[in-house]
Amino acid sequence: LSLEQPGISRITLDFMVDMFNDEIQDVRIRAIESLRKMSANVTLQEDQLETILCALEDFSDEVREGLHATLAASKLATTNCLNMCVTRLIDNLARYPQDKDSIRSCLAALGASHPYLTLPLVPHFLGTHPFFDTPEPDVDEPSYASLLVLIFNAALHCPSMHALFSEHTAKHYHYLRDTMPNLVPRLRPALVKLPGTVDDQVDEDVKDQRGREFLERMVAGVENARPGGKVYVQLLEAAAVDLDRLAEMDRRMEGAARFTSLYIRSLLLL
């Protein structure tokens, strides 16, 4: 009935949230599932969210993962709601590291659905300072990588967020885009290092030369390959994927790399 009548969903929300504290696990699981189904019709406020987040401490994997899915589908009312939710999820990750995949999927969904609530929280989540340089975080640290998943998914729908990213944030984007492409979206425009000093320009020239050499090697490899057979098809598929990555990481080579990738994929259709 709540799914068909949004007004009833809003009326029953407080009763549904109270069921999260029930002593019977099956009741808690059913409450979590029901809230997920009606999440499109309701917006969670801070007091309701505080009660819901307590379920993250549950010893049951089923309860925690169900709650991650429910939070991923939820609409949050304020920036403070999002901050509460993210903070508790990161704490949950430290307590239950086996929930990493479920938590990151939840954070990715929260970022994508709340880009403008995420925006004012980016400096806090990244630990950046408006005046002083801060040390580069460890991208392999689970909590930091998880926060980046949230932020990059939000940035997909809020391009102005890119201006808040430091140089190492852009570098970490490419690393995470490569290692977890299912959670980190392709951003447009791609995050790149901003030009600055002479040394920066030299680095850009070196990267440009390396990009050209890589592209030339890929083209030569395709031209020298013997058509026909499974190995040939695998070679073309791998080359197309590598060129797509080059296009993401090197803006100067993006046009040539994407054109060559398109040409290779057309060969696969012959």
DSSP secondary structure letters along 167-233: HHHHHHHHHHHHH-TTTSPPPSSPP-PPP-SHHHHHHHHHHHHHHHHHHHHHHHHHHHSPSSSHHHH
**Domains, the chain, ranges and CATH?**
2-179 (1.25.10.10), 204-269 (no CATH)
pLDDT of residue 202: 45
pLDDT of residue 10: 57
Query: What SS3 state is found at 76?
Result: strand
Res 213 pLDDT > 90: no
Most confident of 59-68, 76-85, 208-217, 237-246: 76-85
Res 193 pLDDT > 60: no
- Phi, psi (deg, nearest 5) at residue 44: -80, 130
